[in-house]
Copies of this chain bind each other. A is one copy, B any other.
Amino acid sequence: MERSACLLFRCTDRVGIIAELVLFFRDSNVSISRFEEYTESRYFFARLEWRGAHPWMTTEDFDEAFQAVADTFDDVSFRAHFFEQPQKLGLFSSKEPHTLIEAVNKCEAGDYPNTEICFLIANSKEVERHAQRYGIPFYYVKTFKDPQRHEPVQLEIIRRHSPDVIGLARYMKVLTKEFIDQAGCQIVNIHHSFLPSFVGARPYEMAYERGVKLIGATSHFVIPALDQGPIIEQGVIRVEPGDSVERMKRTGRDVEKKVFASALGKTLQHKTIMYDNKTIVFN
């Protein structure tokens, strides 16, 4: 793996930001190979990629060097990622396996850069065979109405594996604020509706009841409020006349798979920035 890296950057918009970012890299004798920027609301967002040698041994080195530039902006936040550093993806699921299988296969096909799946935690033993097929460490953790009974067990597993990203592959349980804080990494969920429509446990039933002509899926970062987190990706598919809830669920799986796998991919490629409970997703 050659040395190459990217920077995700956000600050309050003002004139001159692009020039200052570019100059920092030029002054460090680093050539930017990819530069993508957006202005949205009061913010400026950028993602810069560079390939080849660079003067920073670790992301901490980079942070230290970049801090002087960062200090000239308002409300700034940034993160650098060195692509040579392997990433660990942890998965949660309940018994519906389709989004899980899609993520695992994308990972095996090399669609997620330099990524290894470090665990599957499930509250159903039915999905264990999928973990076994791919040699993924599997943990059955029964879930309860009271999250205090299962979250500590899950957090212990998380601590042992230190995932960089957690994907909730139709895990279908609300996470507490404490869990999210202590997990200490980005958590990507797939919700089986076109949010903000049909929040909660039975979105296909609700979509059927309302008589919508398209059903959808939404992948978002998890926050304590149910299905309210910053949206990363959405997709829809057409309902045919006469479709039952059962057929809608079956059809909907294909959208769920695609949206979840895409959102995980964007996250693992460091192409998402969160702000104001929204996301900027780079190309």
Answer whether A280 and B242 are a contact pair too, CB < 8 Å, given A234-B213, A258-B254.
yes
Complex interface: chain B residues within 8 A of A241 (CB): 38, 40, 45, 280-283
Tell me the bound Cα distance from A133 to B134 in angstroms: 8
Complex interface: chain B residues within 8 A of A196 (CB): 197-198, 210, 212
Closest B residue to A20 by beta carbon equals: B26
Tell me the bound Cα distance from A242 to B280 in angstroms: 7
Judge whether A230 is part of the interface by a CB distance below 8 angstroms: yes
Judge whether A128 is part of the interface by a CB distance below 8 angstroms: no
A195–B212 contact, CB under 8 A?
Answer: yes
Complex interface: chain B residues within 8 A of A194 (CB): 194, 197, 214
Identical chains bound together, number: 4
A101–B105 contact, CB under 8 A?
Answer: yes
Tell me the bound Cα distance from A34 to B26 in angstroms: 19
Judge whether A25 is part of the interface by a CB distance below 8 angstroms: yes
- Residues from 236 to 283 in A contacting B, C-beta threshold 8 Å: 236, 240-244, 250, 253-254, 258, 276-283
Tell me the bound Cα distance from A78 to B54 in angstroms: 31
A70 to chain B, nearest CB (A): 18
Show 17 residue pairs from A and B whose CB-CB distance is below 8 angstroms, ordered by the A residue: A15-B33, A18-B32, A19-B23, A19-B26, A23-B26, A33-B39, A36-B36, A45-B241, A101-B105, A133-B134, A195-B212, A210-B231, A211-B278, A213-B231, A213-B232, A214-B235, A258-B258
Chain A residues at the B interface, C-beta cutoff of 8 Å? 15-16, 18-19, 22-23, 25-26, 31-40, 45, 97-98, 101, 105, 109, 111, 133-134, 194-198, 210-214, 216, 230-236, 240-244, 250, 253-254, 258, 276-283
